[in-house]
Chain A
Amino acid sequence: MLLSVLVVAISLALFWMAAFTLWWQMHAWRTPETLAATSFDRPDSDVGLSFSLLLPARHEQAVLEHTIERLLESTHSNYEIIVVVGHDDPETAEVAERAARNDPLRVRVITDTHETKNKPKALNTALPHCRGDIVGVFDAEDQVHPELLAHVDHAFTTTGADVVQGGVQLINFHSSWYSLRNCLEYFFWFRSRLHLHAQKGFIPLGGNTVFVRTAVLREADGWDADCLAEDCDLGVRLSSAGKKVVVAYDSGMVTREETPDTLMSLLKQRTRWNQGFLQVYRKRDWRQLPTRRQRMLARYTLMTPFLQAYSGVIIPVNVVIALFLDVPVGAAIVTFLPLVTAMVTFVFEVVGLHDFGKQYGLRVRFTHYLKLIIGGPFYQVLLAGAAVRAVWREQRGRNEWELTSHVGAHLTETREDASR
């Protein structure tokens, strides 16, 4: 009897959790009108705002030049690029200086002299030097669409937003089974879920293609140099302070990135994010959110990695209990509820992969769908591993950056190893 009650309680909790996550994940596709509203409006006015684009680069000489060239192709006429390099990284600095010499009006180089380096410190170093109305952040390996700035400008002007988050998309889904799932995660996150967060007034921002009004950013004292998820933290702090965030996703205009090149680096990246989420949760900035619903959403979103890990383990256990132990039929049926939501999620992922292929003109083969389905449980294990690892590291007080390296798989030409 006790077992039955326990199993039913756990199952119902898991069911609601999965159902909510699914509900939010599918936000953009709720109605055709919602879907249409997720993309950028077409800019119809002249240039209104000026931009300072921050480009922190570390041991990324291989990809940096191409990224700067792409940024300089922008159709917008009023922007500057600030490349932030480390004082201990002459190779990257050389590439940056060369670019600055070629276009001194639009490219500048700032040197970060911190002893231990990380991305938020680099960004904070550059912040006082920004002259534009808007600060934008990109990573050194990003492929940025030339028309993006004009659209972001329009979004700021027409909506009066304080923050605009553009889409980021991992593209190299064919590289491995986990990159397939990783790409799809990004797809659902930027295509759909983030829009819900923007609408609800609580949003963990992404790491790049994020644009903030310079004054707002300075008022918020820039990025938190001690947080492993400084992007998420910034979003949480700004939305808690009531700043308006607008998210726009346009498959033609997303910033393209690549997945981590090994399973281990994916695990490390995920550990860092989870640990960062945990830190943001513990900083309690989200408690200032005005409504209870927003606080619940914040609590839930920041806890998601851990709940996900937990449910990945518990669902199979539950089903085994239902099938092999002696519980009443009614209770046994309830234990299948989380499985039902998991199946629905699975199906939507398959459709999402199809849509992803369509949106980006990529050919998704049957084997990819197969990989997606078979890889599902293993990816759950990976996520669970990262969650456990994050908790463990946080307990031990280890919060240095574990860097993710990039091989440029998302670029058309192959590049040598570079690391972020």
Chain B
Amino acid sequence: MTTILPTPEETTPTGAPGGAPPGALTAPDSPTTLVERPAGAATTPGADRPRADVRVRVLPRPVIRFRSSRPDLLLCLGLLTVILAVQGWNITHFPTLSDDEGTYLAQAWAVQQGEGLAHYTYWYDHPPLGWIQIAGLTYLPSVIAPESMTVATMRFAMLAVSAACAVLLYVLARRLFLPRWSAALAMALFGLSPLSVVLQREIFLDNLAVMWMLLAFCLAASPSRHLWHHFAAGLVGAVSVLTKETMLVVLPALLVTMWRHSHRDTRKFAVTGAITACVLIGLSYPLYALLNNELFPGPGHVSLIDGITYQMGREGSGFILDAGSGSHGVLQSWLYYDRVLPLGGVAGALLLLSTLRWSVTARALAGPALAVAILTVVAMRPSGYLPAMYVIQALPFLALVLAGAAASVVHAVLHRRLPARGSSPAPRTAFGRILRDRAVRRTPAPGVAPPGAPDAARSRALTHLPRRALVGVLALAAAVLLTPRWIDGNRDALTLDANAPYRAAAGWLQEEIADPASTRVLVDDALWLDLVHDGFTPGTGAIWFYKADLDPAVTKTMPRGWRDIDYVVSSPTVRRDAVDLPNVKAALQHSTPVAVFGRGEDRIEIRRITGGTTGGAR
């Protein structure tokens, strides 16, 4: 084996032939040794043909070992502390407890109790892996202090997920050859954007799915390009999809990342292995349904096909740019928290995708940029349903792409050769300069510097000053634009108490109801676990309000409808959905408030049913 200096063609991150065109924007971090082997064999059709005297060199990709890089570790750890502080402070008070959080946590509770996948009939609304993970994540606290298993408290568990996501994003950025500052920028954008802070605090399956998908991307961009890392990437990608099925649309981007970051000689095994792993793990969900005899629809039981049909058939929320549509409202709610990340990210993705031909960074980030593009296109469907948490799965990619675009621009400003400077910019020279710049900083690599280096160095020093100044101005402008908005956005997250009514309502129910075991309450999912801990019967005593109309197992216990109920806890969600739920609507009409917490739209009323019989048939 011999050590040979890398040629420009071989140091492209993809390891693919081709070479770096003029103005390649960033370069791999450290050229290392390469293994030389004789080849020509690959295409020799017969043994009789004399061997072609061609050599193919396999260049180990420049490796960034996160674990052994002290500056990376320190930077990442520092940022992580800030992110955890911002996300963790006031986490139980803001944002408002959401119905979905309650649903998932309650189902996780059911898993912990050994009651199966849900305490009501599991009907294949989502793959169950997400809340099985939540159950695992909250297992220890739920054993030590069972009453801590409520939405607000268990938000702390999501901090662990956020932390994992943030670190994985940093690692991914480094694996995609972004410079340190850019990786840090991605991590900060992802962890500190007010939009992220609000959404990542909540117990959403999407946050878990994002964690798995980021892990899959990290594995796909593994510096050692190990077959089983790629295999694991496919596997983890499938886990991500089984955690939240909407991640399915990101899989092509994962594939692109893997393709770009695998080596030509082993690519076919790596990529097919990953796809196989992904498909096989993905099939475990239908297999589970099949083994339960619940794959196909039939009378008297739920089925996976029914579940999928329901999800696909959800009423659309209109075109996202059509003011007045539901989707537009959702978009506005995102932009209310942060404009930089969603809009800047999409712009960054466009920039990267349109400079694929010229920019090494763009090629390295092709996967994440594609993820942003796909998610944007899916959000633009004219008749699709756009849930508020949709943006969660885009957040890491938006941050990464925005930071990558920034790195691209900075590199172009600092290093791009101006056409006016005499000779035509030859690709070798352009890249050679980058290599030399790095070689000087790291291991001296004799012979890499192009001829005539001293002159070039002097003239570069002259041109560098204004270029650096320009970068400084750009950075300052970005900071001025960004910081006030983020401070405003995060101030709310750090100080507001949006959940006081919920806490007060929970407290009231705990204090004022004498005999919880025989009292029946319609309540939204967010408060449900509080009631269960107070001694209400899960399922038929403490009732998810909509189950009173939709679940035959529950309506069966209410032969006289609203008369068999004692209380309704009327939260904004209950009032909103009651329109389509006759039992709930009737209960609201035939009840009077006994306690009201909060004011206006967001108030929570505890209403006692009038004219019914307390402790109805169970």
Residues of A within 8 A of B43 (CB): 361
A312 nearest CB across to chain B (Å): 20
Contacts of A252 in B (CB 8 A): 40-41, 44, 47, 51
Residues of A within 8 A of B1 (CB): 41
A78 within 8 A of B: no
Contact (A31, B287) CB under 8 Å given A36-B35, A42-B38, A250-B38: no
Q: Does A343 contact B (CB under 8 A)?
A: yes
By the criterion of a CB under 8 Å from any partner CB, how many residues of chain B are at the interface? 40
Task: Write the nearest CB–CB distance from B377 to chain A, whole angstroms.
Answer: 30
A363 to chain B: closest residue by CB: B45
Selected from B51, B266, B280, B287, the residue in CB contact (under 8 A) with A333 is B287
In angstroms, how far is the closest chain A Cβ from the Cβ of B161?
26
Contact A35 B266 (CB under 8 A): yes
A199 within 8 A of B: no
Does residue A40 face the partner (Cβ distance < 8 Å to B)? Answer: yes
Q: A348-B273, A358-B42 are in contact. Are A37 and B35 (CB under 8 A)?
A: yes
Cα distance A362–B55 in the bound complex, in angstroms = 22
Q: Does A105 contact B (CB under 8 A)?
A: no
Which residue of A has the minimal Cβ distance to B15?
A32
Q: What's the least CB distance linking A191 to chain B, in Å?
A: 11
**A251–chain B nearest beta-carbon distance, Å:** 5
Task: State in angstroms the CA–CA spacing of A359 and B437 once bound together.
Answer: 39
| Cα distance, A41 to B224, chains bound together (Å) | 22
Within 8 A of A (CB), among B250-306: 263, 265-266, 268-270, 272-273, 276-277, 280, 284, 287-288, 291-292
Residue pair B269, A39 in contact (C-beta under 8 Å) = no
Which of B42, B226, B288 interacts with A359 by CB under 8 Å?
Answer: B42
- Minimum CB distance partner of A361 in chain B: B45
B38, B266, B288: the one contacting A32 at CB < 8 Å is B266
B46 an interface residue at 8 Å Cβ cutoff? yes
Cβ-closest chain B residue relative to A30: B227
Residues from 521 to 548 in B contacting A, C-beta threshold 8 Å: none
Q: What 1/0 mask marks residues of chain B from 38 to 60 whose CB sits below 8 Å from any chain A CB? A: 11111111110001000100101
Main secondary structure of the interface of A (DSSP, over half): helix
CB within 8 Å for A26 and B224 given contacts A36-B37, A145-B47, A251-B41: no
A351: Cβ under 8 A from any B Cβ:
yes
CB-based contact A31/B226 at 8 Å: yes
Closest to A39 in B: B37
Our pick among A35, A256, A333 for the contact of B265 (Cβ within 8 Å) is A35
Contacts of B39 in A (CB 8 A): 39
Given the interface pairs A33-B35, A251-B41, the reply to whether A347 lies near B287 with Cβ below 8 Å is no
Find A348's partner among B263, B272, B288, B292 (CB 8 Å cutoff).
B272
Instruction: Flag if A348 contacts B291 (CB, 8 Å).
Output: no
The residue among A33, A251, A340, A348 with the most chain B CB atoms within 10 A of its own CB is A33
Q: Is the CB of A333 within 8 A of B288?
A: yes
Contacts of A82 in B (CB 8 A): none
Contact B46 A361 (CB under 8 A): yes
B201 contacts chain A at the CB level, 8 A cutoff:
no
B223 to chain A, nearest CB (A): 10
Distance to closest chain A CB from B147 (angstroms): 30
Scoring A332, A343, A347 by chain B CB atoms within 10 A of each residue's CB, the highest score goes to A347
CB distance from A75 to the nearest CB of B (A): 10
Residue A29 CB within 8 A of the other chain:
yes
- Which B residues are CB-close (under 8 A) to A344? 273, 276-277, 280
Taken together as a complex, chains A and B put the C-alpha atoms of A323 and B45 apart, in Å, by 48
A30 to B291, Cβ gap below 8 A?
A: no
- Closest residue of chain B to A347, judged by CB? B276
Instruction: Tell yes or no: A143 within 8 A of B by CB.
Output: yes
A143 to B47, CA, bound (A): 8
Closest to B40 in A: A252
Q: Which residues of A sit under 8 angstroms from B58, Cβ to Cβ?
A: 32-33, 35-36
Which A residue's beta carbon lies closest to that of B59?
A32
A366 contacts the other chain (CB 8 A): no
Q: Which residues of B contact A250 (CB under 8 A)?
A: 38, 41
Instruction: Tell me which residues across on chain A come within 8 A of B288, comparing CB atoms.
Output: 329, 333
Determine if A394 is an interface residue (Cβ-Cβ < 8 Å). Answer: no
Contacts of A42 in B (CB 8 A): 36-38, 55
Please give the distance in Å from B288's CB to the nearest CB on chain A.
7
B225 and A32 form a contact (CB under 8 A): yes
Is A147 an interface position by the 8 A CB rule? Answer: yes
Contacts of A323 in B (CB 8 A): 291
Partner of B280, one of A36, A39, A253, A343: A343
Q: Which B residues from 12 to 46 make CB contacts under 8 A with A?
A: 15, 35-46
User: Interface readout for A248-271 with B: 1 if CB under 8 Å, 0 if not?
Assistant: 001111101000000000000000
Given A26-B227, A32-B15, A340-B280, A329 and B269 contact (CB-CB distance below 8 Å): no
- State the CA gap A143–B60 with chains docked (Å): 34
Within 8 A of B (CB), among A332-382: 332-333, 336, 340, 343-344, 347-348, 350-351, 354-355, 358-362
Map CB proximity to A onto B584-595 as digits: 1 under 8 Å, 0 otherwise: 000000000000
In the complex, are the beta carbons of B269 and A26 less than 8 A apart?
yes
Cross-chain contact B38 with A41 (CB below 8 angstroms): yes
Provide the residues of chain A in CB contact with B276, threshold 8 Å.
Answer: 343-344, 347
Q: Within the complex, what minimum Cβ distance (angstroms) separates B40 from chain A?
A: 7
Contacts of A333 in B (CB 8 A): 284, 287-288, 291
With an 8 A cutoff between CB atoms, is B228 at the interface? yes
A366-405 vs B, CB cutoff 8 Å, 1 = contact: the mask equals 0000000000000000000000000000000000000000
Q: A256-B47, A344-B280, A351-B268 are in contact. Are A39 and B15 (CB under 8 A)?
A: no
Q: Which residues of A sit under 8 angstroms from B51, Cβ to Cβ?
A: 147, 252-253
Closest to A32 in B: B263
Measured between beta carbons, the chain B residues less than 8 angstroms from A351 are 268-269, 272
Contact between chains at B47 and A355 (CB < 8 Å): no
- Could you mark each residue 30-71 of chain A with 1 if its beta carbon is under 8 Å from any beta carbon of chain B, else 0? 111101110111100000000000000000000000000000
**Given A340-B280, A347-B272, A329 contacting B291 (CB threshold 8 A):** yes
In the bound complex, residues from chain B placing their C-beta under 8 Å from that of A322 are 291
Residue of A nearest to B280 (CB): A340
CB neighbours of B270 from chain A (8 A): 29
* Known contacts A31-B227, A41-B1, A329 near B47 by CB under 8 Å: no
* Smallest CB separation, B52 vs chain A (Å): 9
**B271 closest partner in A (C-beta):** A351
B289, chain A: closest CB distance, angstroms: 10
From B37, B40, B46, B280, A41 is in contact (CB under 8 Å) with B37
Identify the closest chain B residue to A345 (Cβ). Answer: B276
Chain B residue numbers with a CB within 8 Å of A36 are: 35, 37, 58, 265
What residues of chain B lie closer than 8 Å to A362, measured between beta carbons?
45
**Residues of the B chain whose Cβ atoms lie less than 8 Å from the Cβ of A26:** 227, 269
Residues of B close to A147: CB separation below 8 A: 51
Contact residues, B211-264 vs A (CB, 8 A):
224-228, 263
**What residues of chain B lie closer than 8 Å to A350, measured between beta carbons?**
272
Do A251 and B44 touch across chains, with their CB atoms under 8 A apart? Answer: yes
Q: How many angstroms from the CA of A33 to the CA of B34 in the assembled complex?
A: 9
Q: In the assembly, what is the distance between CA of A305 and CA of B248, in Å?
A: 40
Chain A interfacial positions (CB closer than 8 Å to B): 23, 26, 29-33, 35-37, 39-42, 143, 145, 147, 250-254, 256, 322-323, 329, 332-333, 336, 340, 343-344, 347-348, 350-351, 354-355, 358-362
22 interchain pairs, CB-CB under 8 A: A23-B228, A26-B269, A29-B266, A30-B226, A31-B225, A31-B227, A35-B265, A35-B266, A37-B37, A39-B38, A41-B37, A42-B36, A42-B55, A250-B41, A252-B40, A253-B41, A253-B47, A329-B291, A343-B280, A347-B273, A359-B42, A360-B45
4 new A-B pairs (CB below 8 Å) besides A347-B273, A354-B268, A355-B268?
A31-B224, A31-B226, A42-B37, A362-B45
Report B's interface with A, CB cutoff 8 A: 1, 15, 35-47, 51, 55, 58, 60, 224-228, 263, 265-266, 268-270, 272-273, 276-277, 280, 284, 287-288, 291-292
Which 10 residue pairs across A and B have the least CB separation, nearest first? A361-B45, A252-B41, A32-B263, A36-B58, A42-B38, A252-B44, A347-B276, A29-B269, A251-B41, A36-B35
